[in-house]
Structure 1
Amino acid sequence: MLTAIISKASFISLCIETFFYGLYMVLFVICMYILVYRKDKNAPLNWPMILATMALFSMSTVHVVVDFVRGLRAFFSAPSALAYYAEIWDGLSIFKQALYATNNIVADGLVVYRCYVVWGRSLYVIVVPVLMLIATTVCGYLAVYNFSQVHPGDNVFASNIAEWGTALFSLSLATNIIVTTLIATRIWWLARQASTTLGHRHARKYHNAVAIIIESGSIYSACAMTLLILYVHRTNAQYLVYDSLAQIMVRTPL
């Protein structure tokens, strides 16, 4: 009975992640087209955005492939799917956690970079977000390291993993809320100035940008909050959100 539940949950999780990956693939192609071909003729290529976008897409792709491989091993090679998924210290499992942590850090870093650009490349504005990003990095990789230190019978809620994992989710969520607010506030202020000097029609594009940024940030924040709540309450339903969030988080900075 338990094996059947694990099988269904794993299959559903993989389907959801694949669905979001398909959406992200379309968004990635559009984003790269805009960055490379739709820029101003005399403007140089935005290499930080291009490289970060390619890195995020590459890691998201590998993440999906790893989940497929783990699924094949669990249901076709391992004596028991339940036993296989319980071995969180397995090399492929640790690699998957490292991919998630790295993807999370790069995605958050790209959002912080966007904030830096929107605020006229002011370092003072991003001091706190950068410190939070560093803390997120430390917590993320310590959580990954502790996956290799667990003992048979332990799970993802083991204390040495849960402490750093909870900190990772919390810091990433807080960073995105703060940075999204900073970006939206800056664009709103620019819209107000444009409205005063050029009229409301010219400010409309700024209002649209604010709406898109808030909407994008809200999607990630809602998913991250859901994951955090489920993880803190130690429910295995967090796996469904966790795998999906690996694909959702990379859509926020684009």
Structure 2
Amino acid sequence: MGSPLTDAHSYGLFLESIFYGIFLATCGVCLKTLLFSGDRLKPVRELKWAMLVVVFILFGVATVDAVLQFYQNLHTFQIANGPGAAADDFSDISDPINVVKSAAMCIQTTIADMMLVYRCWIVYSRSWLAISLPGLLVLGNTAVTGVVLYLEITLNQHALLSVKKIKPFGAAFWALTVVINVITTGLIVARIWRINQRTQDLIYRPERRGSRPLTALQHVMRIVVESGLLYTGASLITFISYITNSVAVYVTTDIEIQIIGIAFNLIIIRAAHSPKESYSFTSGSRSLEFRMSNQSTAVPSARANVSITQQDDREDKMSDKPGDF
């Protein structure tokens, strides 16, 4: 029987391989969504280059981590004379493979957090004030990441990731990741919900009876919440494993690095299949047009265009450009 640490790395390799397969499948569908319109390749001017770059970065980092996990397990069990020797090799915290795997996890998480803040920025009509708090938290978490990696490189001892010198900074990293997820997802959903209520008040008059159908904006909220729960849940489990000094943290981090990419891809894929809506009516001196589009971008595509002939303070936009949200 192996030690808890060697068992954790074996389980981590097995589960990461499964989630990496899921990630590969979502990458294929995501790239098809970004590169093709129906059966034809999109013109270069229509491509969302920022999203393509992020997709390839997430794929590259996840692939490097999966390959290193396989190589580390294979190499360790080949040279080990027993479970104790294997555990010593896995626990060499300053080993280049362990450091690169930690760096990959931090890079993947930082990119995901930045994309959350970017979506929030888009939703709030590119308002820097709206993202001031989560933006500062991301910068703070980036600084914490640098400290964690520096300590891992210079520690030069056999210890778990939750060793006393690193634990405060590691705990801060995962706690900030969870907080960033909760705040940005909450801000995005709150903004979409408010705009959805306003557009519904304009489209569905009080005299119209019956239940209101699910709108495109409500569909957007569902996509954001579900993807946010997937990422936040994985981060919360990792945080709990870390602060309790459990070797399960090696399993959860191997899984989470793949879940981050899966959640990002699913937003783009599901946004491409979000419903379209178009309404146009005139009431008195008021002429209103309401449209929803479903172009594939960083966040679920939905834009409300309201054109009113008289002054009305109910107008609210989520984006200045079609397809940005």
Q: Same fold per TM (> 0.5)?
A: yes
CA contact (8 A) 1:89 1:149 kept: yes
CA distance in structure 2 between the partners assigned to 1:196 and 1:42 by the alignment: 39
- 1:59 equivalent among 58, 61, 83: 61
Kept in 1, the 8 Å contact 2:22–2:262? The answer is: no
- The structure whose residues are more often strand, as a share, is 2
Which residue of structure 1 aligns with residue 279 of structure 2? none
Q: Report the counterpart of residue 38 of structure 1 in structure 2.
A: 37
Q: 1:243 is matched by which residue type in structure 2?
A: D
Structure 2 gaps, min length 5: 205-211, 266-325
1:225 to 229, 236, 240: 236
Counterpart pick for 2:165 among 153, 157, 160: 160
1:58 & 1:66 partners in 2: Cα distance? Answer: 12
CA 1:244–1:42 in structure 2 vs 1: closer, same or farther (change >3 Å)? closer
- CA gap of 1:253–1:111, structure 2 versus 1, over 3 A, is farther
Query: Aligned pair 1:209/2:209, yes or no?
Result: no
Name whichever structure is richer in helix by fraction: 1
Residue of structure 2 in register with 1:14 after alignment: 13
Q: Which runs of 5+ in 1 are unaligned?
A: none
> Residue in 1 aligned with 2:303?
none
The corresponding residue for 1:72 is 74
Give 1:35 shift: 2.0
CA displacement 1:18-77 (0-9 Å, x = unmatched): 111111111122222222223997973222222112111110111101101111111113
Matched, 1:238 2:249: yes
1:184 touches 1:210 (CA, 8 Å); kept in 2?
yes
Is residue 149 from structure 1 mapped to residue 166 from structure 2 by the alignment? Answer: no
- Match in the other structure for 1:128: 133
Q: Which amino acid aligns with 1:46?
A: K
Given that 1:143 and 1:160 are in contact with CA atoms closer than 8 Å, whether structure 2 keeps it comes out as: no
2:184 aligned residue (160, 176, 179): 179
For 2:87 and 2:178, locate their aligned partners in 1 and report how far apart those are by CA, in whole Å: 31
* Structure 1 residue 132: Cα displacement: 0.7
- The whole-number CA distance in structure 2 between the counterparts of 1:42 and 1:123 is 30
Letter in 2 for 1:208: H
CA distance in 2, matches of 1:58, 1:210: 29
Q: What code does the residue aligned with 2:215 have?
A: R
RMSD: 2.1
> Which residue type is aligned with residue 9 of structure 1?
A
- Deviation string for 1:150-173 (max 9, x for gaps)? 242433222221111111101111
Relative contact order (C-alpha < 8 Å, sep 6+): which is higher? 1
What is the identity, as a one-letter code, of the residue corresponding to 1:185?
Answer: A
Q: Is the 8 A contact 1:56 1:250 kept in 2?
A: yes
Three-state SS of the structure 1 residue aligned to 2:215 is helix
Deviates more, 1:226-235 or 1:155-164: 155-164
Work out whether residues 220 and 248 of structure 1, in 8 Å CA contact, stay in contact via their aligned partners in 2.
Answer: yes
Q: Contact 2:62 / 2:257 at 8 angstroms: preserved in 1?
A: yes
The amino acid across from 1:26 in the alignment is: A
CA distance in 2 between partners of 1:17 and 1:99 (Å): 14
Contact 1:223 1:245 in 2 (8 A): yes
**Across the two proteins, how many residue pairs are aligned to each other?**
252
Q: Distance in 1 between matches of 2:260 and 2:51?
A: 15
**Matched-pair contact (CA < 8 Å) for 2:88–2:158:** no
CA distance in 2, matches of 1:176, 1:69: 32
Whole-angstrom CA distance in 1 between matches of 2:156 and 2:65: 25
